[in-house]
Amino acid sequence: MLKGIYGAEYKKVVENLRKARLDAGLRQEDVAQKLNKPQSYVSKIERGERRIDVVELKAFARLYKKSLDYFV
């Protein structure tokens, strides 16, 4: 049996990122443009294919007007 590369805690962070984006009424393209990144950057993060660090998480939190606590 294969294990995912990220644990349940990280999956929750990813779920919260996606939920915050939807709550803010933003599309992945909108977020990518505001962060000056390609849309695939946001997509890969939300699918759990790309891990983000705390600096990147802080940028998402600022954009979504959420505290870091919301995500972790």
Convert the pLDDT of each residue in 12-70 to its tens digit. 999 999 999 999 999 999 999 999 999 999 999 999 899 999 999 999 999 999 999 99
Yes or no: domain 8-71 corresponds to CATH 1.10.260.40 = yes
Domains of the chain, residue spans: 8-71
SS (H, E, C) the chain: CCCCCCCHHHHHHHHHHHHHHHHCCCCHHHHHHHHCCCHHHHHHHHCCCCCCCHHHHHHHHHHHCCCHHHHC
Banded pLDDT at 6 (limits 50, 70, 90): confident
**Stronger pLDDT, 71 or 3, i.e. the higher one:** 71
